[in-house]
A = this chain, B = another copy of it.
Amino acid sequence: MIKVGIVGGTGYTGVELLRLLAQHPGVELATITSRSEAGMPVADMFPSLRGRVALKFEDPQSAGLRDCDAVFFATPHGVAMAQSPELVAGGTKVIDLAADFRLKSLDEFSKWYKIPHTAPDLLEEAVYGLPEMNRAAIKSARVIANPGCYATAVQLGFLPLVEAGVADLDCLIANAASGVSGAGRKAEVGSLFAEASDNFKAYGVPGHRHLPEICQGLEQAAGRKVSLTFVPHLLPQIRGILATLYARVPVDVDVQALFEERFAGEPFVDVMPPGSTPDTRSVRASNTVRIAVHRPQGGDTVVVLVAEDNLVKGAAGQAVQNMNLIFGLEETTGLTHIPVLP
């Protein structure tokens, strides 16, 4: 059994990690920390866990994180890079669901996250935890940078086109929309029901933190600079991301075959038949990503649709997938839930 700890379990990625790990056959949930809620039974905050998770939130200081085989950070950025070096030195694997280890460039990190990076060595060795790109490296990693929710969907949707060299990399467009759980469990006016319900809007148009993360991944795949316009939107629903991607593909290529071949054998990527339009509920509460690819009116513009549950493949599920890879388990262990529909 893998002995697992969670740092910062009071948010939505935290409770989703708990849901997945408490049902995972190869995991022993050893500890979960919250400075503010130390002493409170986890199931008092999240009654969905009553009878299933007996842990109490522990103070980070006293929690036995160093005795864990793996520690997940479901914290605001800045926490993982502070606490990881000691854990890693002691042999504990770290999987950070925040952004601390996502951007390889120290400058980019401090530009977008407004703090200096305090663990540059770990950053250098950290592996970007998108298994469909980096499976081999993940297996031997000590620190995983679990990808952002938008970044997962957008990269997976563009990768086949970019790797095949068929897309015009100077004008990629990613129009994406996320459920409100993506904003976390912070008490903010903009995330109130009476603000976000029955409403739709774009945000972060001048620049969203997932933009450099996406570009880094696509540029690694392309071997050159890419120019991406990324416009996220806020959906009046709890879970789910749909990325609608637009790429100019001026060459005559079977894009359907391209996607099917690229993701053949991938346990969590479903390339749907031509003409499909994946909806977010078809992946709700599951680790599967569904993708469809279109070339409307046979023109130059290819449209890729990617549906993902932002809390699962976009966060906690992908983190568990990475844990499975690191510890040599079957990659799908504990992640076989069928989506909840309706």
User: Which residues of A approach B to under 8 Å, CB–CB?
Assistant: 12, 15, 19, 22-23, 46-52, 171, 173, 175, 177, 179-181, 183, 185, 187-189, 191-203, 205-207, 227, 229-231, 233, 235-240, 242, 244, 246, 248, 270, 272, 275-286, 288, 290, 294, 296-297, 299-301, 303, 305, 307, 311, 336-342
**Are the C-beta atoms of B180 and A341 separated by less than 8 Å?**
no
**Are the C-beta atoms of B193 and A238 separated by less than 8 Å?**
yes
A206 to B275, CA, bound (A): 8
Q: Please state the number of chain copies in the assembly.
A: 4
Across the interface, A195 reaches (CB within 8 A) one of B175, B195, B342, namely B342
Which residues of B sit under 8 angstroms from A48, Cβ to Cβ?
281-284, 286, 338-341
**Are the C-beta atoms of B197 and A238 separated by less than 8 Å?**
yes
With contact pairs A193-B191, A203-B277, A229-B301 given, residues A12 and B342 touching in the complex (Cβ less than 8 Å)? yes
A196 to B193, CA, bound (A): 7
Q: Across the interface, name the chain B residue whose C-beta is closest to A173.
A: B246
- Shortest beta-carbon distance from A67 to chain B in Å: 25
Which residues of B sit under 8 angstroms from A338, Cβ to Cβ?
19, 22-23, 48-49, 52
Across the interface, A229 reaches (CB within 8 A) one of B191, B236, B246, B290, namely B246
**Are the C-beta atoms of A280 and B194 separated by less than 8 Å?**
no
**Are the C-beta atoms of A200 and B294 separated by less than 8 Å?**
no
Across the interface, A294 reaches (CB within 8 A) one of B206, B272, B280, namely B206
**Are the C-beta atoms of B305 and A202 separated by less than 8 Å?**
yes
A310 to B202, CA, bound (A): 17
The 7 closest A-B pairs by CB, nearest first: A201-B279, A48-B339, A48-B341, A180-B193, A47-B282, A193-B196, A187-B187
